[in-house]
Amino acid sequence: MQARLLTAAETHPLRLLVLRPGGTLADVDFANDATEGAFHLGIEANGELIAVGSFYPEPHPALNAQHPYRLRGMATHPAHQGSGAGSALLRTAFEHLHELHADLLWCNARVKAVPFYERAGFHREGELFDIPGIGGHYLMHRILR
């Protein structure tokens, strides 16, 4: 597996397949994709893009940090879930975020993804909440050092 920086458009097919099945490209073209300081990562195996994630400089009102980043659009192809691709993507992101002097990474994690994020050192914050049309989520965060 190999990590590389992507354009936002390169993340769209996996976002659509995993996060918005039956949706449209407009559903996975996030407003923050073009934010200054944003970056997009992918993991490839045998020339195929199998995992993606996007990272935005963005605070969360419930979390205190000087240089927070948000993770959004994390998706691993169903045929490669459990292969370590998502973990490899996060390890690469942590290195890149360290270079950017980020001190916190947060995300809104789907209920089924909570164990994955906990294994990666994230902690739940607050109560379960619903994102209409998507389902239950928890605010999760990890302190970066």
Residue 144 has pLDDT above 90, yes or no: yes
pLDDT band at 59 (very low <50, low <70, confident <90, very high): very high
Q: What is the mean pLDDT of the chain?
A: 94
Residue 57 has pLDDT above 90, yes or no: yes
Whats the size of the chain, residue-wise? 145
Cα atoms in the Cβ-side hemisphere of radius 13 Å centred on 119: 12
Residue 134 has pLDDT above 90, yes or no: no
Mean predicted confidence (pLDDT) in 69-97: 95
Decide if 12 contacts 29 (C-beta within 8 A): yes
One-letter identity of residue 82: G
Residue 135 has pLDDT above 90, yes or no: no
Kind plus residue range of the DSSP H or E element containing 3: strand 2-6
Taking only the tens place, the pLDDT of each residue in 21-56 is 888 888 899 999 999 999 999 999 999 999 999 999
Q: Using the structure block, give the residue that is written with the tokens 């089924």.
A: 112
One-letter identity of residue 127: E
Joined together, the tokens standing for residue 13 give 């097919």
What is the set of domains in the chain, with CATH numbers?
Answer: 2-143 (3.40.630.30)
**Model-level pTM?**
0.92
pLDDT band at 11 (very low <50, low <70, confident <90, very high): very high
pLDDT band at 133 (very low <50, low <70, confident <90, very high): confident
Mean predicted confidence (pLDDT) in 95-115: 96
Mean predicted confidence (pLDDT) in 92-106: 97
